Amino acid sequence: MTRPTVLELRGVSKNFGPVAAVADVDLELKQGEFISFLGPSGSGKTTTLMMVAGLQAPSSGSILLNGRDLAPLPPYKRNIGVVFQHYALFPHMSVLANIAFPLEMRKLGRMQARRRAEAVLRLVGLPDLGDRLPSQLSGGQQQRVALARALAYEPPLLLMDEPLGALDKNLRAQMQIEIARLHRELGITVLYVTHDQEEALVMSDRIAVFNHGRVEQIGQPQSLYERPVTRFVAGFLGDSTFLPGKVQALQKEEAVVLTAHGPLRGHASPGVRPGEAAVVAVRPERVVLLTPGDTARENALRGRISDVIYLGQSRKFVVRLEDGSELLGLQPIGTASPAVTEGSEVLLGWSATDCNVLADSD
């Protein structure tokens, strides 16, 4: 069964003088879907969210919520929940009063608002903290209260702008799981802005990768990670090594690229053309150390390990290739493969299906 569209962006752009902060964004967000806007600072993701919230007016295009054009509506009439990185809790109000405030503004009775506030406070795991002031809570608890306040009036759409940015790594991971759980249990529709790749991968149904105000690619997390269609997406979403060359042959979904290291094979992305410049993009975890005579991989290179970086559960290693360029590899701790050591000469390989050939337009 096809889910109805909750939010639709049609050709949305935003200009600040001569600068195009957002350029011609088209997007549909289905009911119950969790979409993350991912990209570097200045890529347009937060500006797009602010236009949906009504805090910025688009220069062109239209934004529809459940089929209704939002342009004539001020922020407080859009019935959209918003959670920011800075919690924006009223310091003089108790936790329960903070959560009940938007309900009372919507003319809900005081007792009904309190019962609803108590219910969402239980939902976010803080049932006994309703009488405290925000200053008496930890950062993670304050963020849960801000989330509860946004959920209290059951908005059709929840916007979240870098909501975990102020938290430490362990607390961020905990809150990621908590928000993902609430999304599943409540079936809420979420538009989430982040620059954290892992956060987007963990939480999202789909990810829209922004670059220079445009959406470079949108899709499910695994699809974007395994099959990026541009060099920017491959480089921003996780680590990749790029080996440049020229497309020698193209057959169905596989391309052969002539590089400084000889011909390399990989999955051909859209836009790859025979005779044109391209890069072979390979993820560190796809690179394996080969033994002499190993022919199980279509691609093999020789080099010398220049650096080994201990990451706890794995080691990242840097291999200097014969032409002076570098390639990244990743070896899990306790692997049966030969141990990586600085200065050792190695033979590296990966399968054609484990890498991507991208048009070299950057």
pLDDT higher than 90, residue 27: yes
* Whole-number Cα distances in Å, 262 to 149, 231, 247, 297, 298: 59, 21, 12, 14, 12
Superfamily of domain 5-226: P-loop containing nucleotide triphosphate hydrolases (3.40.50.300)
What digits encode the pLDDT tens for the residues 111-129?
888 888 888 888 888 888 9
* The pLDDT value given to residue 339: 66
**CA 213/CA 256 separation, integer angstroms:** 33
Q: Is 177 exposed, middle or buried (0-12, 13-18, 19+ CB in 10 A)?
A: exposed
Residue limits of CATH 3.40.50.300 in the chain: 5-226
Other CB atoms within 10 A of residue 227 CB: 15
Backbone angles phi, psi at 195, to 5 degrees: -110, 0
Whether 340 contacts 332, CB under 8 Å: no
Q: Among 331, 229, 225, which residue's Cα sits nearest to residue 278?
A: 229
Backbone angles phi, psi at 327, to 5 degrees: -130, 140
pLDDT higher than 60, residue 362: no
Strand order across the beta sheet in which 299-310 lies: 288-290, 345-350, 299-310, 314-321, 326-332
**CA 134/CA 141 separation, integer angstroms:** 9
Q: What is the fold, at CATH topology level, of the domain defined by 231-359?
A: OB fold (Dihydrolipoamide Acetyltransferase, E2P) (2.40.50)
Report percent pLDDT > 70 for the chain: 97
Question: Per-residue pLDDT averaged across 144-158, rounded?
Answer: 88
Backbone angles phi, psi at 298, to 5 degrees: -70, -25
Residue 335, token pair as written in the block: 């692997």
**CA 254/CA 206 separation, integer angstroms:** 26
- Quickly state the pLDDT bin for 50 (edges 50, 70, 90): very high
Residue position matching structure tokens 């119950």? 32
Beta-carbon contacts of 54 under 8 Å, excluding residues fewer than 6 positions away, are 70, 73, 74, 75, 78, 80
**CA 357/CA 249 separation, integer angstroms:** 12
**CA 45/CA 207 separation, integer angstroms:** 11
- Quickly state the pLDDT bin for 22 (edges 50, 70, 90): very high
* The pLDDT value given to residue 307: 94
pLDDT higher than 90, residue 173: no
Distance of CA 193 to the CA centre of its chain: 8
What digits encode the pLDDT tens for the residues 74-106?
998 898 988 887 767 888 999 999 998 888 888
- Quickly state the pLDDT bin for 200 (edges 50, 70, 90): very high
Beta-carbon contacts of 326 under 8 Å, excluding residues fewer than 6 positions away, are 241, 306, 318, 319, 320
**CA 213/CA 222 separation, integer angstroms:** 23
Backbone angles phi, psi at 358, to 5 degrees: -120, 145
What digits encode the pLDDT tens for the residues 290-346?
877 676 678 999 999 999 998 888 989 999 998 899 999 998 887 756 667 888 898
